[in-house]
Amino acid sequence: MATHVTHFMADGHLACGRHGDTLTSTTEVARVKCRNCRGTEAFQEARRIGRNAARRAARQAVKASHEACKWRGAWLQRLTDMPGLQRLPRGFKGQPYV
């Protein structure tokens, strides 16, 4: 049974320098199996860029979840702005009326 090695395609050429029409190639870093391709600067750079993009996306997701937690400040301001002898719920500091 023949094993199929997947090479890394960079700028229209295989990163390891091999030639042939029957060689399997991809630009997806996770699918590359050729050890020679994995050792090239082109592959290392593509892997670094992919990792950084994933980290940026994770940070954006965390930031978006923190944005959703700002409801408490808005609710506090809304209750403070209400006319009359309204009071804030327990746990909020600086209750004007008890």
pLDDT band at 1; cut points 50, 70, 90:
very low
CA atoms within 13 A on the CB side of 50: 10
pTM above 0.75, yes or no: no
Candidates 59, 61, 95; CA nearest to 76 is 95
The helix/strand/coil state of 6 is: strand
| Higher per-residue pLDDT: 81 or 16 | 16
DSSP β-bridge partners for residue 24: 6
| Higher per-residue pLDDT: 59 or 64 | 59
Q: Give me the pLDDT at residue 98, please.
A: 47
Candidates 41, 31, 37, 32; CA nearest to 14 is 37
Read off the pLDDT of residues 34-46 as tens digits, 9 standing for 90 and up. 999 999 999 999 9
**What mean pLDDT is reported for the chain?**
82
| Higher per-residue pLDDT: 4 or 57 | 57
